[in-house]
């Protein structure tokens, strides 16, 4: 997925993996991928380039995405969010 960065001409290329240990949650996440992409896109577009850089920025972003998805899906069992790719271009 590609996302614009707030107040920048650059974009972010990101690929996210969501970890769960609950089969029902897995099925829900698979069926609602469009909502997940939209939510992640909104979060990333709200970030500046500086907020996305470095390990600390990526850890904060992972945590924010996880918390947002838990809210979006009414407290589902998401154990972690991983970035397979996170590239600022």
The range of the structural domain enclosing residue 78 comes to 2-88
Helix (H) or strand (E) holding 59: helix 54-72
- pTM recorded for the entire structure: 0.89
CATH number of the domain bearing residue 8:
3.30.479
Judge whether residue 69 has pLDDT over 80.
yes
- Spatial distance between the Cα atoms of 6 and 18, rounded to a whole number of angstroms: 24
pLDDT digits (tens, 9 = 90+) for 13-66: 999 999 998 888 889 899 999 999 999 999 999 999 999 999 999 999 999 999
Residue 45's nearest CA partner among 83, 82, 86, 3 is 3
- Spatial distance between the Cα atoms of 21 and 28, rounded to a whole number of angstroms: 13
Domain count for the chain: 1
DSSP conformational letter for 7:
T
Judge whether residue 74 has pLDDT over 80.
yes
Q: Could you count the other beta carbons within 10 Å of the beta carbon of residue 74?
A: 7
pLDDT for 2 equals 94
């Amino acid at each position: 997925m590609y996302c614009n960065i707030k107040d920048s001409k650059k974009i972010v290329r990101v690929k996210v993996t969501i970890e769960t240990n609950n089969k029902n949650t897995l099925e829900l996440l698979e069926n609602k991928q469009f909502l997940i992409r939209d939510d992640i896109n909104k979060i990333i577009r709200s970030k500046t380039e500086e907020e996305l850089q470095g390990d600390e920025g990526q850890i904060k972003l992972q945590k924010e995405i996880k918390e947002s998805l838990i809210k979006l899906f009414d407290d589902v069992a998401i154990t972690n969010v991983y970035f397979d790719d996170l590239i600022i271009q």
